[in-house]
Structure formats: structure tokens, C-alpha cells
Amino acid sequence: MTESYIYYDELIESSVWGENKVLLENDTNLLEKTSFNYKGYGIISLDDSNINNFLKTYISNRIYDVISLDVDIEKYHHCVNEEQHTRVLNSMPYKKNDSSELEEFCKYIEKVVSKELREEVKIFNDDIWVRICRPKKFSDTDFNPCHRDVYLDFYRNTANIYLPIIGSNENSSLFLQEGSHLWNENITATTNGGAFFKSSNKKYSVDAIVQSKVKLNMTRPNPTTNEIMIFSPYLIHGCSHNDNDNVTRMSLEIRFIKKDKNGLKQENDMNEFLKQRVWR
């Protein structure tokens, strides 16, 4: 593996090659008991057909709470300016107990994911994130660069879900590199302490994968609005630009951790860290 595949030219000088180790060898692999552990992701169906309508209504209401504007969320990119968009983002994460309806939804999702993982899990820190990705021709910075969530240490030992809400299809759903959760870290070179793109004056909290010794062939699994994709936060993913012509993509991202004393300790450690961190 002598050839290096470069993904972000402007970040090469700030990147370093990873150590000779596989992160999951010393961490909790919540996908270990699933049939899709070798891939690092799987798509499962939900049996509640009302979830999508609930989420669309909930998000619309929360956006109104923040910017006092009734928004057609499919046309969010036409309705919301940059200052308002920043306020919407900064109103997250939503919390599991924000409303009785959201808490009921969260308990249902916890039950579904626990059954699939064959492990009792809870929503990590009760955090509910809505990812908003406007069409690329309107904004090309709404998505993280290629990364692993676990470059932020407090997301180790967890599992993620991607739940489409609107605008998620073969042109916009989450990009990921199948099987990369099991890769050695020395295959990739990353930034350290986040990633700053001078060309766009955009700072990301998570480290970016800048180069690799194996070419990334990322794919877009495409769950429907009545499905969820469970995936490992150790997977390489991101760089998920929205190639839809005129529809904003919104999706739910929720992380899960074992419902035990170690999981609770990890939540507490993260909250202590967040008290000292400025995200945006």
C-alpha cells in the first residue's frame, strides 16, 4: 500500500497517519451480536407508520419556537437564512423528555434498537439530533467531512441510528465505507483537534480523514422513512452532500450506549468535557 489517496488537499499539512491499532479491539462493539457486524451497518423496519408524520410535525414546531417562522421543511433552504439556520442548529440537541410524545417515541426506538443489538441500550445522554442538509447548490458546508465519530472519544462504545425524515434518497442519504469500523488506524491520515477549511472558513469539531492507503469506495445505503439504519460510529462516514435539486434533507441521528454503570459514567464524563468546549 504505497499509494496515498487524497481527499482534502488543503488539510494535508495538518494531518498525520494513525497508529498501528484497531480501535474496536479495546472498545465495546455494540454491533457484535448482529448479523451485520461485518458490514458495520444494517437497515431494519419500524412497525409504527405514524413516526414520520410525528417527526415532521415536531421539527416544524421546534423551528417555529426558535425563529418564529412557519417553515415548509422540504423547502427549508428557501425559507431560512444563514443567521436563522445557525439559531436552529444551536437549539439542538433536543432532549428525550422535551415532551411526552417525544419521550414515547424515544422509548419505542430504545426498545427496537435494544432488540436488534441483543443488548439493553439507552439513548446516549438523552440527546436527539436532527441533521439538516440543504441542497449542495444552496450550501456546501452542511455536512461533516469524512470522519469517524469516535475521533471524539466520548462517542466510543456507542451505536448510531440514521432515521430519514424528508429528502433522504439515493442522492442525499448518508455516505459510509462498509467494513471500515474494523480497519487499522494506520490506513488513514487525519487532522487533530477538528478540521479547519480556510477556503470556506469552516471549522468542524471532529477530525477529518484527509488521506488513505486504501481507496475509499463509499456507498449510500438508502433506508425509507419507515426504516432505520443502525451503524457503527467507528465506520468512516460523512461527506454526505445533498445532490437533490430542490429538497432539504433532514434525518434523525441518535446514539445509544449500554444501559449500565459504565454507560452512565461515560455520559457524565462527556458532560464534564462539554462544559469547557465551544462547538460553534
Report pLDDT digits (tens) over 49-77: 899 999 999 999 999 999 999 999 999 99
Report pLDDT digits (tens) over 117-138: 999 999 999 999 999 999 999 9
Report pLDDT digits (tens) over 138-186: 998 899 999 999 999 999 999 999 999 999 999 999 999 999 999 999 9
Provide the pLDDT for residue 278. Answer: 56
Give me 33's grid cell. 451480536
Q: Does the pLDDT value for residue 279 go beyond 70?
A: no
d(C-alpha 65, C-alpha 50), whole Å: 23
The one-character DSSP state at 124 is: G
At 256, is the pLDDT very low, low, confident or very high (cuts 50, 70, 90)? very high
Q: What's the distance, CA 24 to chain centroid?
A: 18
Which CATH topology does 18-183+214-274 take?
Jelly Rolls (2.60.120)
Q: Which residues contact 133 (CB under 8 A, 6 or more apart)?
A: 142, 143, 167, 172, 240, 241, 242, 248, 249, 250, 251
What does the domain layout of the chain look like in residue ranges? 18-183+214-274
Provide the pLDDT for residue 120. Answer: 98
Report pLDDT digits (tens) over 185-215: 999 999 999 999 998 889 998 999 999 999 9
Q: Which residues contact 22 (CB under 8 A, 6 or more apart)?
A: 182, 183, 184, 185
The one-character DSSP state at 147 is: B
pTM (predicted TM-score): 0.94
Cα–Cα distances in Å, from 114 out to 35, 122, 157, 227, 235? 14, 8, 15, 15, 20
Provide the pLDDT for residue 1. Answer: 40
- Angle formed by the axes of helices 51-67 and 100-117, nearest 10°: 130
